[in-house]
Amino acid sequence: MTDPSPVAPPRPAPEADAPDLGALTEQVAEASRFVGPLLDAVGRVVVGQAQMVERLVIGLLTGGHVLLEGVPGLAKTLTVSTLAQAIDARFQRVQFTPDLLPADLVGTLVYNQAESSFRVQKGPIFANVVLADEVNRAPAKVQSALLEAMQERQVTIGETTYPLPRPFLVLATQNPVEQEGTYPLPEAQVDRFMLKTVVGYPTRDEELEIMRRMSRGAPLEPAAPVVTPDQILDARRVVGGVYVDARVEEYVVDLVLATREPARYGLPDVEGLVAYGASPRASIALALAARAHAFLAGRAYVTPDDVRALALDVLRHRVAVTYEAEAEEVASDAVVRRVLDAVDVP
């Protein structure tokens, strides 16, 4: 009889040589000079919400789209628009509504009667930073049009495909799906978001400061541009070179595998709670997000703490729970936290 006990996952061979961390640290320090001024520019407009701002900057540094979820009134739209103002790049805001059409987003062909020909009228998706405000209020056809732009960095108008500008980033906000008048996002589209950040309420002191600022009736001063698209693209190349030790890579993969095969990692009670786990796209996103987190800390190498700091945001929208879990009021966040507690940290 075969042994039914769990089998440990295979371990790849460690890397032979680590890079020159001294030289890499100098590159990180040089490429991250704009981060401080960028955070300051946003902080002069937005009170608190440091975690949300950090996640948005990680999206900038990796090219990963970010989904912000929270009830109305938590400064999601203000934060995204302020961050876009601090970047010397083209910004477009699209208010997603039930009557929005795909052409309203990507553009359409317009007939020129004088010349008897069609010309392309490009939509707001042709921008460096696109704010998809209340993204879960638009119907499926619009979500499908947005999906091609998010994944392929291109859109098709008529019979022609047009590349989107670089950098290109979708920062979307949504109210929780329990709110009236919203549509659950398709699973394929949700998976294209690198991070899903749940935005919470401010602290008492933060709310007091918000009230004082906003109740004066004076308009908010827009954030001044402090970084260029070229600086962001240069920083992305440095982020991609941040060193990840083989043991940390294994840890990333183990976390993702544990969402698919909980019993294999000592979580038999989670087995019946997960309908399907995170895809390999989650492993890629978690490693890249951890690199960006280390970059923001001024380090040229990734630690397990970088991975753990981003694991919930990377995995929560990629783990689908069963009806049994919903009946027991166990959300995907709880499943991911159990995985984090169970998988050994290197």
* Same domain flag for 93 and 210: yes
**For residue 178, what pLDDT is reported?**
55
H-helix segments, 63-139: 76-85, 102-106
* Chain centroid offset of residue 343 CA: 24
Among candidate residues 19, 21, 59, the one with its CA nearest the CA of residue 299? 21
* Same domain flag for 205 and 276: no
**For residue 182, what pLDDT is reported?**
66
Looking up residue 166, the CATH number of its domain turns out to be 3.40.50.300
User: Would 4 be classed as within a structural domain?
Assistant: no
**For residue 144, what pLDDT is reported?**
83
Contacting residues for 175 by C-beta, under 8 A, at least 6 apart = 69, 70, 71, 72, 134, 136, 182
* Same domain flag for 345 and 204: no
* Same domain flag for 65 and 186: yes
**For residue 6, what pLDDT is reported?**
43
Indicate the residue among 188, 214, 240 that finishes a domain.
214
* Same domain flag for 69 and 185: yes
Handedness of CA 284, 290, 291, 292 (dihedral sign): positive
Looking up residue 248, the CATH number of its domain turns out to be 1.10.8.80
* Same domain flag for 175 and 240: no
Domains in the chain: how many in total?
2
Phi first, then psi, for residue 24 (nearest 5°) are -70, -35
**For residue 2, what pLDDT is reported?**
40
User: Would 278 be classed as within a structural domain?
Assistant: yes
User: Would 7 be classed as within a structural domain?
Assistant: no
Indicate the residue among 214, 236, 266 that finishes a domain.
214
Q: How far is Cα 166 from Cα 102, in angstroms, rounded to an integer?
A: 22
User: Would 288 be classed as within a structural domain?
Assistant: yes
Q: What is the pTM of this model?
A: 0.86
Tokens found for residue 133: 């405000």
User: Would 136 be classed as within a structural domain?
Assistant: yes
Task: Please tell me whether residue 283 adopts helix, strand or coil conformation.
Answer: helix
Spatial contact of 32 and 295, defined as CB atoms under 8 Å apart = yes
* Same domain flag for 64 and 177: yes
pLDDT tens over the chain, length 346 residues = 444 444 444 444 444 456 777 888 888 989 889 999 999 988 888 888 889 999 999 999 999 999 998 888 888 888 888 888 898 888 899 998 888 888 899 888 887 777 777 888 888 999 999 999 888 888 888 888 888 888 889 888 888 888 999 889 999 888 776 555 666 777 777 888 999 999 988 889 989 988 888 887 777 777 888 998 889 999 999 999 999 999 999 999 999 999 998 888 888 888 888 888 898 999 999 999 999 999 999 999 999 999 999 999 999 999 988 888 878 878 888 999 999 999 989 8
* Same domain flag for 112 and 256: no
Task: Verify cis geometry, omega within 30 degrees of 0, for the bond prior to 167.
Answer: yes
